A and B are shown apart, each in its own frame.
Chain A
Amino acid sequence: MSNEWFKVAELSEIRVDRTRLCRIGDQVLCLYNLDGAIYATDDLCTHGAASLADGFIENGEIVCPLHDGRFCIRTGKATGAPCTIDIKTYSVKVKDGAVLLDSTEFADVPHDRTIP
């Protein structure tokens, strides 16, 4: 199956070392800008009911705003207590200033945003 990438944000909308919430159907993701490179993970912390988009980026890790658990943004690995379960990561591509996700990773992709 060939990958189809779809646009979810403009690169300029995500500041360096900041996050952005992103909804695709029922799925909620958090986008990160690490020194100009964009990454994506699930937004809901694997430990408590908290949105990682409200978290703090430190040394390539997202710090959960509720209990200060940590995940590696690049790999999704749980790196700090109390988090022990890794967070799901997603493929991201940046093309012509647009942040793109891979439609094969989502159940419910809005068709009008698909870029072949």
Chain B
Amino acid sequence: MSQSIVVIGAGQAGGWAARTLRDQGHDGRIVLVGRECRPPYERPPLSKGILDGVTAPEAATIFAKSVLEQLAIEWRAPVECLSIDRGKRHVLLSDRSTIAYDKLILCTGGRARPLSLPGGNLPGVFQLRSMEDALAIAARLEPGKRLVAVGGGWIGLEVAATANMRGLDVTIVEADARLCARTVPPQASSYLLSLHEQHRTQVLLGCDIERIEPDSAGGLVVVLKDGRVLPADIIVAGIGLLPNDELARDAGLECRGGIIVDTQCRTSDERIFAAGDVTLAYNHWHDRRLRLESWQNAQDQGIAAAKAALGINIQYDPLPRFWSDQYGIRIQMLGCPNSERGIPIVRQGREAGHFMVFCVDSSRLLGAFSVNAASDLREARRILMSGRPVAPAALADPTFDLADL
């Protein structure tokens, strides 16, 4: 008898996992359990086109309902998975039904880290994770209003850029001394700071928030620890992701701030696999376990987990790839541009506005950060994948064609 495979979580990872099972010839039951009303969609447009109003929500859909039907994927939504019974090999859903599984793939993703300070849950304070979040924020982005982005990471910067372009008066408040400190080298942080300041966004670094208060006019006030106050009409907090690993933890699967998986996307139960933002996996470019939390990882690990669940031998340890669009500028990253094992090498492009920062150890490239430099980034990728030694001086010299390396 053919096996039943259940995928918990119908985001990008879950959607790709379910589809891949069918693409790879699995002819048994596939159930895709989602807590949102929408079929699988991708999240990058949420902080850009959806906030901007130029992208319709449907345009973010990865697999429409009709596609899921064609593939005979049983999409159950909106429903929550409450528990996994590993002994009986079934899951319990919030509608009190149970679904038996032979293999289970957990793609439960993450949620926005809440702003846990006084006033952090006042009306007008938002987080951005789901389409519904994005639509609620978009409806309030009126020209002339004041927006405070809490957190100078990727979500905060993209929200700030989109709101600024829509004519809002924007302030970014970041606790760290620089922007995107977790993912980019200092030279890249400086670039991002100047980009936002050029667009007349106020960026406050090294600033902690004491509390948020309502003001008498129906707005909000952000009170900083140093006593300064920032009036705001809307506050969007982008301060990181919390993995939705409770289901796995309650089932006794090994978790440590994410579900631990190996290069076969296997959890500590051989019948249970996991993929996407919720997973914690070793990546050799970073030389540690981490949650990759990227569009690319959600898709590719979802595909990999489905193959692994079907017994196909895979080795999932990808070259990390990431992009961000701000003010019409394309920022891309490869590998680990902020590695402690390397030093940063700046390459100014041949044309104005092109900019790269490489991360190089004694002789090898570990990662790259690029601004509007697609062809140089392509050469960086070639070098990264080959693992061959590079001369830092050549990387830094904009007249040197990286294709010759």
Contact = CB atoms under 8 A, between A and B. Distances in A.
Interface in A12-30: 15, 18
B377 interface: yes
Given A18-B403, A56-B382, A82-B62, A65 B299 contact: no
The listed residue with most A CB atoms (<10 A of its CB), out of B16, B296, B332, B375, is B375
Interface string A78-116: 000110000000000000000000000000000000000
A68 interface: yes
A65 to B, nearest CB: 5
Given A18-B403, A81-B16, A65 B296 contact: no
- The secondary structure that dominates the A interface is loop
B378 A65 contact: yes
Given A56-B381, A81-B16, A81-B300, A67 B295 contact: yes
Contact of B299 (A15, A56, A66, A82): A82
Interface in B7-51: 16
Interface in B292-346: 295-296, 299-300, 303, 321, 323, 332
Given A51-B374, A54-B374, A66 B381 contact: no
B318 to A, nearest CB: 9
A115 B250 CA distance: 72
B11 to A, nearest CB: 14
Contacts of A76: none
A81 B24 CA distance: 13
B321 A68 contact: yes
B295 A65 contact: no
Interface string B279-300: 0000000000000000110011
The listed residue with most B CB atoms (<10 A of its CB), out of A18, A55, A66, A82, is A82
B375 A54 contact: yes
A81 B299 contact: yes
A29 B228 CA distance: 55
Nearest to B300: A81
Interface of B: 16, 62, 295-296, 299-300, 303, 321, 323, 332, 374-375, 377-378, 381-382, 385, 403
A-B interface, 9 closest residue pairs, ranked by CB to CB distance from nearest: A54-B374, A56-B378, A65-B374, A56-B381, A54-B375, A81-B299, A81-B303, A54-B378, A65-B378
